[in-house]
Structures are given as structure tokens and as C-alpha cells.
Amino acid sequence: MKDERGRMKARALILTCITAVLVLSTSCTRGERRSGIPADAQTVLDTAIGDMNAGDYDRLYNAAADEWRRDTTLEDSKATFERLREKLGRATVRSLQTAREEQTGTAPVAGHSLIAIYQTSFERGHAMETFTLVERDGKWYLAKYFVSSTALQ
């Protein structure tokens, strides 16, 4: 009888510990980082990618976040995209590898941001593209863009 009660108490304790660990592990990360792309951010990302594909770098620059325009001029931004187009050609296939939302006070962008990483096939090579969007007053903006490819060397 005593052994039976001891086993029941041990099971109850183990179940309580497991429940506590599960609750704590999910509550610690809630709101800080989550996977996926919110619909309104996806729309901004699709528009930016469409502008890049179309070579409409003026529109891309003018719709970008203040951070983008502080870091570069329209002319420098256009020149960078034109060099990328010369070296890699047009994008043919983009495959989303990861997307995550972050709330930070530091880099890559302070505040509520979304980082989307694509593996992309271009006419003359393959690359990883990183798009960083930032949310300001409930609206998403492209803040940073980075391409990594051996074809750029």
C-alpha cells in the first residue's frame, strides 16, 4: 500500500515537472521570435522582389525604410542592383529557406523586424538572398538586402 502511494506521488511529481517545463519553454519565447511571414509583410516582400525583378530600382528605393535611404543614395543603390544583375543575371527561382520575426533593440534593425532568407537560382549562378523588413507604425518596409554568391567573386 505504501509503495503504491509512493509511486503515485512520484508519477504526479514527474507529470508536474514535465508540464512546468513545457509551459516555461513556450512562454519564454512567445513574442520575441516566431517563424513565418505575416500577410502584410509578405505583400511588401513580394512587391520589393517584383521591383527587383523588373529593374524598377527607383520604386524599390522610394518604398524602402528610412534605414535603407540613410545607408545609401538612390544612385548607389541602383548601381549595386545593376552590378548584381550583370554578374548573376535575372532571378529564375526563389525558394524560401527561413523566415523569422524578431523584436530587438540592436542590429540588424532595431525594433520589430522580419528576416527572410531565400535560396535563389539566377541565370548565371546561385545565391542566398537575405531580406530584412522592419515594421514602423503598423506598416512593413524593406530595410536591408544582402546577397551571398560565389558567382559574385
- 96-152 pLDDT, tens per residue? 999 999 887 776 677 899 999 999 999 999 999 999 999 999 999 999 999 999 988
- What does the alpha-carbon distance between residue 131 and residue 118 come to, in Å, rounded to a whole number? 8
Can you give the residue ranges of every domain in the chain?
Answer: 1-30, 32-152
What is the value of pTM for the model shown? 0.74
- 42-79 pLDDT, tens per residue? 999 999 999 999 999 999 999 999 999 999 999 999 99
pLDDT at 49: 96
Give the architecture (CATH level 2) of 32-152: Roll (3.10)
pLDDT at 29: 34
Buried b (16+ CB within 10 A) or exposed e, 72-99: eeeeebbeebeebbebbeebeebeeeeb
Which residue is listed with cell 522580419?
A: 114
